[in-house]
Amino acid sequence: MSQEELIELLQSLNNKHRKTLTDIFTEPARSDIRWDDVESLWRALGADVTQGRGSRVRVAFNDEKATFHEPHPEPELKKYLVKKIKQFFENSGIDQDLLDLIY
């Protein structure tokens, strides 16, 4: 996906998805981001999200693939998982510079 296509896709997100994406890129990493908000963001971006074994969730977006463990019993992400999700977005072409252009 080209940078122009990514920009168009990010501009089409609703306010809740934009806030979730902005929260993921906030430094230092936040610990109050909810898993279901991130999963909803991935789906809004058109990512392929599939349930793996146990709490594993596979995500594919823009030629990038990763497996994450859904947090439990609490719905909030630990900081290390927020950093891993941020790295996934950066590897798939969404980084802070791109967000600064849009938001």
Nearest to 95 by CA among 20, 1, 3: 3
Per-residue pLDDT reduced to its tens digit, 12-60? 999 999 999 999 999 999 999 999 999 999 999 999 999 999 999 999 9
Q: pLDDT grade, residue 62 (50/70/90)?
A: very high
Q: Is 1 helix (H, G, I), strand (E, B) or coil?
A: coil
- Looking at residue 1, what is its pLDDT? 86
Given a cut of 90, whether residue 101 has pLDDT beyond it is no
The whole-number pLDDT of residue 32 equals 94
Average pLDDT estimate for 80-92? 97
* CA 20 to chain CA mean position, Å: 8
The average pLDDT across 76-100 equals 96
Q: What is the pLDDT of residue 78?
A: 95
Distance CA 50, CA 48 (A): 7
Q: Tell me the C-alpha distance between 60 and 96, whole Å.
A: 20
